[in-house]
Structure 1
Amino acid sequence: MSTASPVRPPLPPFDEEGARHKVRLAEDAWNSREPERVSLAYTEDSEWRNRAEFVRGRAQIVAFLQRKWQREHEYRLIKELWAHDGHRIAVRFAYEWRDDSGQWYRAYGNENWEFDDDGLMRRRIASINDLRIEPGERKFHWPQGRRPDTHPGLSELGL
């Protein structure tokens, strides 16, 4: 994992187009399920609150994501821009996954993001709730990886 912190466009202050693009880039990275790749979008000392877990820095981000994706199988995520202002973006999201027993879940949540001037996220505050779902209730049906541009987003799915 590289420790370099390159500039990560789009850069703040965010306009509507830049904020939407930043959200899609984040969704794409998380759908890759590559912890090191995801971590490079964050500052070296990035601070997270994810549910009741507090994470600081890229090494802890990588460890957190490795644990997450070891237990959340067939993970598929959709993020949607909620609001933006200056160096901050708020998103809502949902993702589907199954556990080792085959039980499916849909997690719903929101995140507040704060960026440095180079476009790296320095703070991520996430609130998330899980809902058990039956396989027939799943709505995210694309091959593992990036969500196709033709797949509906949260609003289109009524989520």
Structure 2
Amino acid sequence: MNADRAQGLVASESLLRETLDYLMRLPVNPMTAQLARKIRTHLEDPAQAREVRDAALVINAAEQNRDLRSGVAWYTAAGLPALEVVVGAGCSVATISSPAARLYGGASAGKQFSKKLIDSLIAGQRVALGPHEPATAPTIRP
């Protein structure tokens, strides 16, 4: 889920809660009561609550990453960032990491991969920076 979709989901949830509150203040009417029950059931659904919690986490992460710039030097064959650089706006510190090596167990990621990673650092690796989008791990199949 991206931040825009998450914000839309949270806004829809808020609108439904506002609508329910309004319906509950109207004079009792079978149609109004039925619609209010339907909205309440939807809002109380555990799957819906989980979606809204997940959306809030996505929004929070997007806010934290808003001022970050990042770039990836190269990717593994599996599509993971092999060498990633993240810099905060106005900061004098960069974080250099290897999400691929972290996912696959650090030094046990393989001698060939480790050698390529070290060689690229020794040689000096240029990395173009853009808006930070945290890497997500691909689904690993047994």
Specify if TM > 0.5. no
Structure ranking higher in strand proportion:
1
If you compute each CA radius of gyration, which structure gives the higher value, 1 or 2?
2
Structure ranking higher in helix proportion:
2
Question: TM-score normalised to the size of structure 2?
Answer: 0.30
Question: TM-score normalised to the size of structure 1?
Answer: 0.28
